[in-house]
Amino acid sequence: MKAAFFNAVDPVGNLDNVESVFADRQQLIGELTDLHPVIVRPENFDEEVKNLQDLEVIFATWSMPMLTDEQIDKMPNLKAVLYAAGSVQGFALPYLERGIQVSSAIEANGVPVAEFALAQVLLAGAGFWRNSRECVDKDSTFMGNNYRGHGNYDNRVAILGNGTISNHLQELLSHHKLEVIVVPSRESNRTISLEEAFSTSFAVVNLFPDRDDNVGVFNGKLFASMIDSASFINVGRGRQVNEPELIQVMKDRPDLTALLDVQHPEPPEDDSELYSVPNILLSGHIAGSKGTEFRRMADYMVEELKRLIAGEPLKYGADLETVKSKA
């Protein structure tokens, strides 16, 4: 089975995404396939495509080249694109319309996001975020004298969104004695509102999809309704938060904590108060795969390759109608 790596320059100028994500899995792929020795890029496509008439599998990751219809048609034997990253929405449609399978490691990339959120939820239940801010006063806060948590037992956590990462997080939280509510609810007998989620949970985790109708949906009224010492955890998208209203509520309610792994824009403007309000904690969009976690995404796609070789259905294949509906 003939295979090749495809890659382009990403938005910050990196050319090493294949090396970062696939690392030593490149050697394994070479053992399982007839691997083309050159990474195919937009600038060398016309030269390399002459040697890709029997190409059956494209391996790619972040910065998958955006090929034209004409370029795709120059690879007549292509059967599958195995994408060791997240969403395929930006490039998959022309392949799927030609009957070329597209599989992604979105499930794998969701695991570290869920683990990141789990850690922040459990620390929120322990009261860590507020307590650590207040420990500057050694006389009143150390040795448990200023405990601010609700406890990670018989308390409520709200997850906003019910996609892949939400499913992972729900599974992780199932190992703890917590009530987990999800917005929108999958339960047919009850709908959980955003208002109830914010006003009754010690931790609220945003995993809403990145759609225009979700822009600014988390406003000051919702944040102001949160219970004492609650935490808002954003591992979704920054633009879903009305940041000026969040900042004002966090100033008014120093008991609350906002943990923002994503902001809008990223990074925030130099003069943004997100940097200076004590109970807003920023991290630099690190909840996804990083370091050795990239290997998980590559491994998912290696397993998909093995299924292709064995003539088995792909486990993580994208659906044409689903991709069309989101286009």
pLDDT in tens, 125-163: 999 999 888 887 666 555 555 677 899 999 999 999 998
pLDDT tens digits for range 64-88: 999 999 999 999 999 999 999 999 9
Residues 6+ apart with CB under 8 A from 275: 268, 282
What is residue 211's predicted lDDT score, i.e. its pLDDT? 86
Number of other CB atoms surrounding residue 75 within 10 Å: 22
Q: Spell out the residues 6+ positions from residue 212 whose beta carbon is closer than 8 angstroms to its own.
A: none
- Contact between residue 299 and residue 27 where contact means Cβ atoms under 8 Å apart: no
pLDDT at res. 210:
87
- CA nearest neighbour of 105 among 314, 273, 310: 314
Residue 214 is encoded by which pair of tokens?
């979700």
157 strand-pairing partners: 180, 203
Please provide residue 42's backbone torsions phi and psi, each rounded to the nearest 5 degrees: -55, -40
What is the three-class DSSP state of 246? helix
Return the H-helix or E-strand segment holding 232.
Answer: strand 231-234
Fold designation for 2-108+290-326: Rossmann fold (3.40.50)
C-alpha distances (whole Å) from 231 to each of 63, 72, 182, 204 are: 34, 47, 16, 6
The Cα 229–Cα 77 span in angstroms is: 58
Per-domain boundaries in the chain? 2-108+290-326, 109-282
Predicted pLDDT of residue 204: 98
Query: Are the beta carbons of 277 and 253 closer than 8 angstroms?
Result: no
Which residues have C-beta within 8 Å of that of residue 245, sequence separation ≥ 6?
Answer: 219, 220, 223
What's the pTM value of the predicted model, to 2 decimals?
0.87
Domains 2-108+290-326 and 109-282 share a fold: yes
The domain 109-282 is placed in CATH, from the list 3.40.605.10, 3.40.50.2000, 3.50.50.60, 3.40.50.720, at: 3.40.50.720
| Segments in the chain below pLDDT 50 | 188
pLDDT at res. 16: 77
Helix (H) or strand (E) holding 234: strand 231-234
